[in-house]
């Protein structure tokens, strides 16, 4: 299968497994990813996901142009009916960590941009190179990149197609951590298990409040955060958290 999927300790590990093609996305892997993200969204035993690629060379290089069939209908028909097959399914309140183990270019970087946390190996490189082949980063790249890093840097990447290194990505705030390639999955697992051990409703509320608040005036965002705090106040998990703290033991959160 072009995508490996495993759930362990409430963490879903989603691994692009086409190293011979730099983990590029073919029709089979796109369909499998759509099914996986649906499972992640609906399975209560999954609290956080880690998205990575197989091998040291590439996280994902976008669409595999050699395997994509020619269109059988006009773009308007397919887009208005199906939309984008992957990224909307990644829009969930369960966090997703991108563990970027090499080149993340084109649609591969756009996959990473759809995640909440991005960490990278020291050999990783990032780019939206579509202008070099008379195309466009049409999933989320033109919108997300200028929102995540300084606009001048984002525009330079978009207009020239130049790539940046892991150290540059860390400096610009595109990723949170850089580590040795052999330690990348270990770091991703540590982050994921920390998130999975927290109260799941609180984690999802924190993500929702932060993401939606970015599109609100500050006062509205603060009011929304207070509302979400109120929704969490009477949960069983909050009672368990206070009780565990008083008893000096790890809490046993159930998502209720």
User: Among all residues, which ones are annotated catalytic?
Assistant: 110, 130
Q: Which helix (H) or strand (E) holds 165?
A: strand 164-165
Tokens of 147: 């929102």
Distance, CA of 61 to CA of 126 (rounded, Å): 10
Distance, CA of 251 to CA of 58 (rounded, Å): 38
Q: What number of other Cβ atoms are within 10 A of residue 63's Cβ?
A: 18
Tokens of 17: 């497994």
CB-based burial of residue 64 (10 Å sphere; 0-12 exposed, 13-18 middle, 19+ buried)? buried
Tokens of 187: 């770091």
Cβ atoms of 123 and 166 closer than 8 Å = yes
Listing from the earlier edge strand, what are the strands of the sheet with 11-16? 3-8, 11-16, 48-53, 96-100, 117-121, 177-179
DSSP state of 23: T
CB-based burial of residue 110 (10 Å sphere; 0-12 exposed, 13-18 middle, 19+ buried)? buried
């Amino acid at each position: 299968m072009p995508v490996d999927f495993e759930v362990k300790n409430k963490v879903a590990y989603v691994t692009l497994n086409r190293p011979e093609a730099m983990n590029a996305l073919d029709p089979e892997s796109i369909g499998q990813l759509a099914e996986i993200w649906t499972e992640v969204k609906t399975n209560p035993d999954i609290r956080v996901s880690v998205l990575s690629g197989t091998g040291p060379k590439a996280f994902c290089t976008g669409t595999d142009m050699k395997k994509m069939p020619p269109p059988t209908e006009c773009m308007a028909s397919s887009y208005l009916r199906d939309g984008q097959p992957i990224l909307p399914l990644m829009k969930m309140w369960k966090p997703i960590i991108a563990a970027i183990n090499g080149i993340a270019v084109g649609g591969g970087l756009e996959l990473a941009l759809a995640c909440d946390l991005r960490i990278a190996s020291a050999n990783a490189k990032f780019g939206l190179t579509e202008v070099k082949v008379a195309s466009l980063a049409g999933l989320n790249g033109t919108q997300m990149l200028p929102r995540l890093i300084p606009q001048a840097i984002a525009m330079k990447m978009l207009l020239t197609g130049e790539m940046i290194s892991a150290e540059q990505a860390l400096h610009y705030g595109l990723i949170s951590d850089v580590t040795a390639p052999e330690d990348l999955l270990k770091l991703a697992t540590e982050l994921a298990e920390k998130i999975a051990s927290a109260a799941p409703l609180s984690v999802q509320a924190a993500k929702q409040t932060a993401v939606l608040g970015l599109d609100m005036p500050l006062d509205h965002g603060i009011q929304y955060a207070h509302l979400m705090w109120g929704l969490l106040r009477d949960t069983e998990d909050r009672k368990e958290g206070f009780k565990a703290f008083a008893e000096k033991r790890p809490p046993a959160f159930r998502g209720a």
